[in-house]
Chain A
Amino acid sequence: MTAIEAAPKLVKLAARNDENSLILDGHEPRLHFASGSEANIWLDVDFSTYVNKSHPEIEVELPTFHPRRGMLNDLCQAAHLCEHLDNLDGFIRPVNIQDEDVTEKNKDVNKFFASLNNTTKHVMSGLTDLSQLDSVIRMAEIVAGGRLEDNPIISFITCAVKSPLQLVDDTTQKLIEIARRGIPLVMSSSPQGGSTAPITEDGMVAQINAEILCGVALTQLVRKGTPVLYGSVPTRARMDDLNESYGAAEFNQYNVDCVQMARFYGLPCYSTAGVADTKVPGIQASVEKMFSHILVSLSGPHYLHYAFGLLERTNTFCPIQAVLDDAHIQMVKSFLREPNIGPREVSSSLEQVKQVMNSTHKLYVRYVRPKLHAGEITPPYPFESRDMSDEVLLKASRRMEELLSLPVEHLSKDTTKRIYNDIPGLLRRLNIHDQEK
Chain B
Amino acid sequence: MTNEEIIQLLKENIIQGRRDENDEGLEEGMVGQPGAKELTEAAIEAGISPDTIILEGLTAGMNVVGEKYEAKEYFIPDMLASAEATGIAMEILEPHLAKAGVSSKGKVVVATVKGDLHDIGKNIVSLLLKGAGYEVLDLGNDIPPERIVDVVREENPDFVGLSALLTTTMKMMGETINRLREAGLRDKVKVLVGGAAVSQDFADEIGADGYGTDGFHAVRLVEELRE
Give the B-binding residues of A (Cβ under 8 A). 360-363, 365-370, 372-373
Contacts and interface: CB of A to CB of B under 8 A. Distances in A.
Contacts of A363: 80, 120, 123-124, 127
B77 A366 contact: yes
Nearest to B75: A372
Q: Chain B CB within 10 Å — which of A366, A367, A369, A370 has the most?
A: A366
B126 interface: yes
A367 B19 CA distance: 12
Contacts of B78: 369, 372
A372 B123 contact: no
Interface string B126-154: 11000000000010000000000000000
Contact of B126 (A361, A365, A366, A367): A361
B26 interface: yes
Interface in B6-31: 17, 24, 26
A370 B126 CA distance: 23
A369 B119 CA distance: 22
Given A361-B127, A363-B124, 13 more contacts: A361-B123, A363-B80, A363-B123, A363-B127, A365-B81, A365-B124, A366-B17, A367-B77, A369-B26, A369-B77, A370-B26, A372-B78, A373-B26
Contacts of A360: 123, 126, 138
Please provide the 9 A-B residue pairs with the shortest distance between their CB atoms, ordered closest to farther: A361-B123, A366-B81, A368-B77, A365-B77, A369-B77, A365-B80, A366-B77, A366-B80, A363-B123
A369 B17 contact: yes
Contacts of B81: 365-366, 369
A398 to B, nearest CB: 16
B85 to A, nearest CB: 9
A435 to B, nearest CB: 38
A74 to B, nearest CB: 34
Contacts of A367: 77
28 contacts: A360-B123, A360-B126, A361-B84, A361-B123, A361-B124, A361-B126, A361-B127, A362-B119, A362-B123, A363-B80, A363-B120, A363-B123, A365-B76, A365-B77, A365-B124, A366-B17, A366-B77, A366-B81, A366-B84, A367-B77, A368-B77, A369-B17, A369-B26, A369-B78, A370-B24, A372-B77, A372-B78, A373-B26
Interface string B145-170: 00000000000000000000000000
Nearest to A373: B26
Contacts of A372: 75, 77-78
A369 B73 CA distance: 12
Per DSSP, chain B at the interface is: helix
A399 to B, nearest CB: 16
B184 to A, nearest CB: 31
Contacts of B77: 365-369, 372
Contacts of A362: 119, 123
A369 B123 CA distance: 18
Contacts of B120: 363
A367 B80 CA distance: 10
Contacts of A366: 17, 77, 80-81, 84
A372 B138 CA distance: 29
Nearest to A351: B22
A360 B123 CA distance: 8
Nearest to B73: A373
A373 B72 CA distance: 11
A153 to B, nearest CB: 37
A361 B122 CA distance: 9
A9 B126 CA distance: 59
A370 B31 CA distance: 14
A263 to B, nearest CB: 40
Interface in B64-86: 75-78, 80-81, 84
Nearest to A379: B75
Nearest to A364: B77
Nearest to B23: A366
Interface in B41-98: 75-78, 80-81, 84
B221 to A, nearest CB: 20
A366 B84 CA distance: 9
Nearest to B24: A370
A347 to B, nearest CB: 14
Residue of A360, A361, A368, A372 most packed against chain B (CB within 10 A)? A361
A387 to B, nearest CB: 13
Nearest to B122: A361
B140 to A, nearest CB: 9
B67 to A, nearest CB: 17
Nearest to B16: A369
Nearest to B80: A365
Contacts of B76: 365
A358 to B, nearest CB: 12
A362 B17 CA distance: 17
A368 B77 CA distance: 7
A364 to B, nearest CB: 9
B104 to A, nearest CB: 19
Nearest to B123: A361
Contacts of A368: 77
Contacts of B126: 360-361
A361 to B, nearest CB: 4
Contacts of B17: 366, 369
A311 B148 CA distance: 61
A128 to B, nearest CB: 47
B117 to A, nearest CB: 12
Nearest to B17: A366
A361 B77 CA distance: 13
B153 to A, nearest CB: 24
Contacts of B75: 372
Contacts of A365: 76-77, 80-81, 124
Contacts of B124: 361, 363, 365
Nearest to B79: A365
B126 to A, nearest CB: 7
